[in-house]
Chains A and B, each alone.
Chain A
Amino acid sequence: MTASAVPPYAPPIDGGASASSRRPRRRFSVLTQRDKLTIGLMVGIPAFVHIFLIWLPALGSVILSFTSWNGIGGLDKIRWIGLKNYENLATVYQPFWPAVQHNLLWLAVFLFIATPLGMLMAVLLDQNIRGTRIYQSVLYTPVVLSLAVVGFIWELMYSPGQGFINNFLATVTNDPRWITPGTAIDWTGTKGLNLFAVLVAASWRHVGYIMVLYLAGLKSVDNTLREAAAIDGANSRQTFFRVVFPVLAPINVVVLVVTIIESLRAFDIVYVTNKGLNGLELLSVLIVTNLLGEASLVGFGSAIAVVLLLISIGPILFYLYRTMRTQPT
């Protein structure tokens, strides 16, 4: 092993506490020209790839949202139309407001049902319970599945003629109307119902994800805190809400941001269900529909992307502020 060749302690040349604060500056002087080039490339290549493929198109969305372009012909065919796309979005384009509502509902279900359930599972599984590993594995299994596969698996539950739910009801009530076309409930095809059906499937996956994140946080809490609370006579609920939860502020931020971003990103599961139509409209889906539609409305699709960007930038900045604040420089 190479590491064993390194002495466990490298004596500083001029020692002393005052020198340590100046260390970074001094280290640069040790670097040769070639070293500087190496560092430049080590930072430059990843930065270029990331900025070129993520931030440049993100900026592109912002710029294109003020234009009218159908993607045919060169960039010189682009016409500037100001805020016209946004105006049309808010007034003429019918799926827009339903999509915003659906995204908000998605967020609400994740935030108030799925995420708290995941946190509850983590708290229960953290208390040295027998078989905790098995419970954790079961709850986490859906998380390793692709959302596209999750969509198909739940289709086996929801399908009106062949799905478990309707067939179960038909068997139990001995009433074949449950699976007869026309009278059977079409869980994923009925407006108003299908969004909740899909949300159940999405939550099935989300709960396990939150559980793992939160469990890791709980494990990192110093046990003496809990002991101290117990000695002071706090019951387990008080210990959690008054002692553990506040200490877990950093992980709470992660969980909150993950929940928000996952709700804004939701796409796959809706797209495999019915391509995001008829009650399953989401902002993410509308962007894709405008991109792949017969008349590719680049400018208009970009305007929807900017709306999504504006919604997501808030939580992202909040997250960065909270994490990087403690980051050593």
Chain B
Amino acid sequence: MTDDVATVGLAEEVLTGGRSVEVVSGKRRSKVGTHAFLIVICAIWLFPLAWTVYTALRPYRDTANLGYVSVGGTYNLDNFFNAATGMELWPHLFNTLVVVVPAVIVVLLLASMLAFAVSRYSFRFNVALLMLFTAGNLLPQQIVITPLFRMYLALPLPKVLNEYGLWYDSYFGIAMIHIAFQLGFCSFVLSNYFRQLPKELSEAAVMDGASVWRTYRSILLPLARPALAALATLEFTWIYNDFFWGILLLRTGSKFPITSALNNLSGQFFTDNNLLAAGSLLVALPTLIVYFALQKQFVAGLTLGSTKG
């Protein structure tokens, strides 16, 4: 056994050793080409954002006088302040957060419970249920919107949560539809995650007399922390970025999420693009901050779902 391994190792050394010079020089040449290509692509990719920043920093007056493609004039943050006021940034950011934060917490709670149950206890509809959830998450949202709109107009809600007493035009309703949709992805990812954890962990807890709830709460949930962190980052961005549910299931303008507040900046006859540039960046800022601060979690969240293991 050990002999075999050694031989293979040796053979590999001989083979690669013999060719290494040729391979390296060829690789170096192709790497210059690769870098050149990547730099060009990245420059193209960055340009729209860089242009937005540049435009946002210039007053409309200067760009009107000097032209948009020009250098000079003043650079300041006035557009950002004006955009924040014009689009009522803070109230709309509040509208978004009041939906996003509870929705992320609840979706992770429900998804982790479901994932725990289906991955630790086998019952008849295990796989069927996961399939249903995954399929539901993949459905285009527009398929459900027409009946959902009618349901929201009929479903009652305590007046504390909405002055009309309906799911329609309420933060609660928006949060609920996000929860329902995202449950699919989160349960799928978490059930795969739980399956990788050794079964002995929960079995030992059961042997020690822990209840199902205790096993979930004290053993498995703490172990799922990395997966939960990754999913939370991802779900925050996804729900924050929503535009569709906000414009369709809300009616009162002052309740609209931040993504649709940008419309307040485009006038009917005249649009100040410098102001719009600043507004777009303000809306994008929270997700950009989350992305750059938690990049690792972010990518992990996405890849947990697509690759198993």
Using Cβ atoms and an 8 Å threshold, which residues of chain B touch A157? 48, 51
**Alpha-carbon distance A215/B213, docked complex (angstroms):** 37
Q: Which of B237-288 contact A (CB under 8 A)?
A: 237, 240-244, 247-248, 259-260, 262-263, 271, 273, 276-277, 279-280, 283-284, 287-288
Q: 1/0 per position for A60-91, CB-CB distance to B under 8 A?
A: 11001000000100000000000000000000
Q: 1/0 per position for B91-112, CB-CB distance to A under 8 A?
A: 0000000000000000000110
* 10 A-B pairs with least C-beta separation: A60-B147, A216-B303, A146-B241, A10-B204, A53-B180, A57-B144, A42-B113, A57-B147, A167-B68, A35-B212
Asked if A32 and B280 sit within 8 Å, CB to CB, the answer is: no
Q: Which of A152-173 contact B (CB under 8 A)?
A: 152-157, 159, 162-164, 167-168, 170-171
Provide 12 A-B residue pairs closer than 8 Å at the C-beta atoms, listed in order of the A residue: A2-B219, A46-B133, A137-B295, A139-B41, A144-B284, A144-B291, A147-B243, A162-B271, A171-B70, A231-B15, A231-B16, A316-B139
Count of chain A residues near B, Cβ 8 A: 120
B138 nearest CB neighbor, chain A only: A316
Hey, which bits of chain B sit against chain A, CB under 8 A? 12, 15-16, 31, 34-35, 37-38, 41-42, 45-46, 48-49, 51-52, 55, 63, 67-70, 110-111, 113-114, 116-118, 121-122, 126-127, 129-136, 138-151, 176-177, 179-181, 183-184, 187, 195, 200-201, 203-207, 211-213, 216, 218-219, 222-223, 237, 240-244, 247-248, 259-260, 262-263, 271, 273, 276-277, 279-280, 283-284, 287-288, 290-292, 295, 298-299, 302-303, 306-309
Q: A3-B223, A54-B139 are in contact. Are A156 and B291 (CB under 8 A)?
A: no
B309 nearest CB neighbor, chain A only: A220
Asked if B180 and A144 sit within 8 Å, CB to CB, the answer is: no
Q: Which of A263-301 contact B (CB under 8 A)?
A: 264-265, 267-268, 271-272, 283-284, 287-288, 290-292, 298, 301
Asked if B284 and A145 sit within 8 Å, CB to CB, the answer is: yes
Q: A216-B307, A324-B131 are in contact. Are A58 and B143 (CB under 8 A)?
A: yes
Using Cβ atoms and an 8 Å threshold, which residues of chain B touch A230? 16
**Alpha-carbon distance A145/B288, docked complex (angstroms):** 7
Chain A contact residues: over half helix, strand or loop, or mixed? helix
Count of A-B contacts judged by CB separation below 8 Å: 329
**Alpha-carbon distance A41/B110, docked complex (angstroms):** 10
A197 within 8 A of B: no
Using Cβ atoms and an 8 Å threshold, which residues of chain B touch A155? 273, 276
**Alpha-carbon distance A319/B302, docked complex (angstroms):** 17
Using Cβ atoms and an 8 Å threshold, which residues of chain B touch A7? 204
| Nearest CB in chain B: distance from A180 CB, A | 13
Asked if B31 and A129 sit within 8 Å, CB to CB, the answer is: yes
A116 within 8 A of B: no
Q: Which of A310-329 contact B (CB under 8 A)?
A: 312, 316-317, 319-320, 323-324, 326-329
Asked if A284 and B48 sit within 8 Å, CB to CB, the answer is: no
Using Cβ atoms and an 8 Å threshold, which residues of chain A touch B63? 162
Which residue from A2, A47, A138, A264 sits with its C-beta under 8 Å from B222? A2
A50 within 8 A of B: yes
Which residue from B45, B138, B147, B241 sits with its C-beta under 8 Å from A139? B45
**Alpha-carbon distance A156/B187, docked complex (angstroms):** 39
Asked if A327 and B299 sit within 8 Å, CB to CB, the answer is: no
Asked if B113 and A45 sit within 8 Å, CB to CB, the answer is: yes
Asked if B204 and A50 sit within 8 Å, CB to CB, the answer is: no
Which residue from B46, B132, B180, B263 sits with its C-beta under 8 Å from A49? B180
Asked if B141 and A265 sit within 8 Å, CB to CB, the answer is: yes
**Alpha-carbon distance A295/B20, docked complex (angstroms):** 73
Contacts A61-B146, A124-B38, A141-B46 known; 11 new A-B pairs at CB < 8 A? A47-B114, A50-B136, A57-B143, A124-B34, A140-B291, A146-B284, A171-B67, A212-B302, A217-B307, A231-B16, A298-B146
**Alpha-carbon distance A296/B76, docked complex (angstroms):** 47
**Alpha-carbon distance A45/B110, docked complex (angstroms):** 8
Asked if A231 and B117 sit within 8 Å, CB to CB, the answer is: no
Q: A6-B205, A129-B31, A141-B288 are in contact. Are A53 and B299 (CB under 8 A)?
A: no
Which residue from A52, A55, A167, A301 sits with its C-beta under 8 Å from B146? A301
Most B-side CB within 10 Å, residue of A53, A137, A171: A53
Asked if B121 and A28 sit within 8 Å, CB to CB, the answer is: yes
Q: Which of A117-148 contact B (CB under 8 A)?
A: 121, 124-125, 127, 129-131, 134-135, 137-142, 144-148
**Alpha-carbon distance A261/B137, docked complex (angstroms):** 11
| Nearest CB in chain A: distance from B110 CB, A | 4
**Alpha-carbon distance A328/B119, docked complex (angstroms):** 9
| Nearest CB in chain A: distance from B287 CB, A | 5
Using Cβ atoms and an 8 Å threshold, which residues of chain B touch A50? 132-133, 136, 180, 183-184
Most B-side CB within 10 Å, residue of A8, A148, A305: A148
| Nearest CB in chain B: distance from A298 CB, A | 6
